[in-house]
Amino acid sequence: MTSTVSKTPTGTQNQGLAGDGGLGARLYRGLSRVPVWALAVLWLLPTFGLMVNSFRTRDAQRNSGFWRITPDEFSMENYRTVFSAESVNPIGDSLLNSLAIAVPATIIPIAVAAFAAYGFAWIDFKGRKWLFILTVSILAIPLQVALIPLLRMFVGGAHQTLPFLDKTLTLVPAWGLNGTATAVWLTHTGFAMPFAIFLLHNYISGLPKDIFESARIDGADHFTIFWRLVLPLSIPVLAAFAIFQFLWTWNDFLIALTMIGSANADALPTTITIANLAGDFGRNEHLLPAGAFVQAFVPLVVFFALQRFFVRGLLAGSVKG
C-alpha cells in the first residue's frame, strides 16, 4: 500500500506576505532600494528650508519659497537683529539663562539618581523593592497637573486661619523663588529624578556581581565601590541620560513660562525669548528662523560631543548576560 504525501512548495506558503504579487512585498522591496542618503535628504528638507529663510529678509520670505532663493537675497541682518541690544528681546542674555537652568537640572538628577540607583541595586535594606516601585511610579504623574501647586509652593504665602485658636497657620512657607531660574531647574530636577533612577538602576543592576564581591573582599565600602567601580563603568548610561535631560530642559517652554512668565524678564530662557521675537501680531516673524538656529546650536554641540555614548546608553539594562 502506497501512501501519498502532499508537499507544498516552499515559496508558496506565504505568498500573500512575501510573494511577487503581494502589495506589502513590493512596497518593502521598493523601500529597500531607496538609498539612505535620499531618506536623510527628505528628513532634513524642512530644517534646510528653515536655515535658508534665516538668511532672508522679511519681504523675501513672504514673497517666495526658500527653493527660489537667489544669491543677492542672503543677508546676516536677521542674526544681527536677534543679537542686537536694541532688539525688544535680545537673545544673548537668554542663552546664559538657559544654561543656568539646563546645567543644574542635568547635573543634580544624575548625582542624586546615581547614588539612589546603586542603593536600590546592590544594598540590601528592608522595603527596598517597594520603595523602588514607589519611586518609579511617580513617572505616572503628569507634569502639567503639578505646575500650579509647585508655583504656589515657590511663591509661598498660603495661610489658613484657625477660628477656634484665633491664629493664622502658615501652610506653605514663602520661598520667594517665583520669577527665578532656580524655580525652573528645581522643577526639572524633581520630575527627572524617577526616570533617572529607573534608567541607572537597570544598568547598574546588570553589572557583574563578581567585581562587587571582589571589592568587598578587599575591604572596600559602598562609597568606594560606587566611586571607583560603578561610576567608571556607568559612563555610557550617564552620558545618555545627560543628553536627554539637557535637551529637554534646554528646549522647555511650558515650565519656564509658568515659573518665570512675566515676573522677571531678565531671567527668561531662550525658548520664551524666541517666542517673543515675533512681536505684536507677528510683525517680526521673519526673525524666528534665525532665533531657532541660534537656540539649536548648543544642543547640537552637546549631542555630537556625547553621541558615542548615546546608543550604548539607550541599550542600558536591556540585555543581561
What confidence tens digit (pLDDT) does each residue in 8-34 have? Answer: 444 444 444 444 456 666 666 666 666
User: What residues are paired with 167 via a beta bridge?
Assistant: 162
What percent of the chain has a predicted confidence (pLDDT) above 70? Answer: 77
Instruction: Give me the pLDDT at residue 1, please.
Output: 46
Q: What are phi and psi of 169, to 5 degrees?
A: -100, 125
pLDDT at residue 120 greater than cutoff 50 = yes
What confidence tens digit (pLDDT) does each residue in 262-286 have? Answer: 777 788 899 998 888 877 767 788 8
- Higher-confidence residue of 80 and 10: namely 80
Instruction: Give me the pLDDT at residue 29, please.
Output: 64
The pLDDT-based confidence of 5 (bands split at 50, 70, 90) is very low
What confidence tens digit (pLDDT) does each residue in 55-75 have? Answer: 988 888 888 888 887 877 888
Instruction: Give me the pLDDT at residue 314, please.
Output: 58
Instruction: Give me the pLDDT at residue 92, please.
Output: 80
* Mean pLDDT for the chain overall: 80
Point out the least confidently predicted range of 33-42, 167-176, 221-230: 167-176
In this structure, what C-alpha cell is assigned to residue 130?
A: 517597594
Q: What are phi and psi of 79, to 5 degrees?
A: -70, -35
Which among 250, 254, 255, 267 is positioned nearest to 302, based on CA atoms? 250
pLDDT at residue 173 greater than cutoff 90 = no
pLDDT at residue 242 greater than cutoff 50 = yes
pLDDT at residue 240 greater than cutoff 70 = yes
User: What residues are paired with 231 via a beta bridge?
Assistant: none
Which among 277, 286, 280, 279 is positioned nearest to 58, based on CA atoms? 286
pTM of the model: 0.77
What confidence tens digit (pLDDT) does each residue in 191-212 have? Answer: 999 999 998 998 898 888 898 8
Q: Looking at residues 31-54, what average pLDDT do you find?
A: 81
Q: Looking at residues 282-296, what average pLDDT do you find?
A: 86
Point out the least confidently predicted range of 3-12, 31-40, 134-143, 243-252: 3-12
In this structure, what C-alpha cell is assigned to residue 306?
A: 556625547
In this structure, what C-alpha cell is assigned to residue 29?
A: 522591496
Task: Give the span between the Cα atoms of 253 and 268, in whole angstroms.
Answer: 10
In this structure, what C-alpha cell is assigned to residue 271?
A: 525658548
CB neighbour burial string for 215-233, b if at least 16 within 10 angstroms, e if fewer: beeeebebeebbeebbeee
Instruction: Give me the pLDDT at residue 88, please.
Output: 57
Domains of the chain (ranges, CATH numbers): 28-75 (no CATH), 87-314 (1.10.3720.10)
In this structure, what C-alpha cell is assigned to residue 321?
A: 548576560
What confidence tens digit (pLDDT) does each residue in 123-158 have? Answer: 888 998 999 999 999 888 888 888 888 888 887 655
Contacts of residue 62, Cβ cutoff 8 Å, sequence gap at least 6: 286
- Higher-confidence residue of 51 and 169: namely 51
Instruction: Give me the pLDDT at residue 81, please.
Output: 85
Helix (H) or strand (E) holding 161: strand 158-162
